[in-house]
A and B are shown apart, each in its own frame.
Chain A
Amino acid sequence: DQQVKQNSPSLSVQEGRISILNCDYTNSMFDYFLWYKKYPAEGPTFLISISSIKDKNEDGRFTVFLNKSAKHLSLHIVPSQPGDSAVYFCAASFNNQGGKLIFGQGTELSVKP
């Protein structure tokens, strides 16, 4: 049973435009959400996170939105750059489980010049 789902395996965006990556979850007890970025032949690197008590967190070109009623979060990248081309994973955790993360399947973003 996939508790965290990324239903779009891939996304293609023009340079300078907005990229929106989506993630849905099923367990309303999750209280912390993260996005990781992964280049080929490298490990994932942390990008941005959001606590369940917030609905938005922003860091430079990256903004994460959380809609708890819909059990949905999204990552917005504005403006998109070719260097953003990577696989993006969303993840969720419970605060009392020692940082154990449950990952989605990933979305491969391609930003074209």
Chain B
Amino acid sequence: DVKVTQSSRYLVKRTGEKVFLECVQDMDHENMFWYRQDPGLGLRLIYFSYDVKMKEKGDIPEGYSVSREKKERFSLILESASTNQTSMYLCASRAGGATDTQYFGPGTRLTVL
């Protein structure tokens, strides 16, 4: 079974803080993704990575950065958290085949006060 884990289920931070969200997968997948889920908007892609040290902007990268130093780990960084970044953050990974499925972690509910 593919396992994608996220470092925290719930997180509360203050405006202006630097926030790190960690994601680890155990299936040697090439591709990893960060999404945020908001009511009425579905899942929106923030950043993704095809391989170690590679990253691509998704649809809403503003205010975020990412790091992928090891294949199994993909980190999402909020340089200076703002209240509009309060959301559910979901990490996913997939192998590199054309029709391979994305496997999701349980999500991190981030609240920025």
Contact = CB atoms under 8 A, between A and B. Distances in A.
A104 B106 CA distance: 19
29 contacts: A6-B42, A9-B40, A36-B104, A41-B9, A41-B106, A41-B107, A43-B104, A43-B105, A43-B107, A44-B43, A44-B104, A46-B103, A49-B101, A51-B99, A89-B42, A98-B31, A98-B48, A98-B50, A99-B94, A99-B100, A99-B102, A100-B33, A100-B48, A101-B43, A101-B45, A103-B43, A104-B42, A105-B41, A106-B42
A32 interface: yes
B4 A89 contact: no
A39 B33 CA distance: 20
Interface residues of A, number: 26
B63 interface: no
Interface string B86-113: 0000101010101111111111000000
Interface of B: 4, 9, 31, 33, 35, 40-45, 48, 50, 58-59, 90, 92, 94, 96, 98-107
Residue from B31, B96, B102, B103 having most chain A Cβ neighbours under 10 A: B102
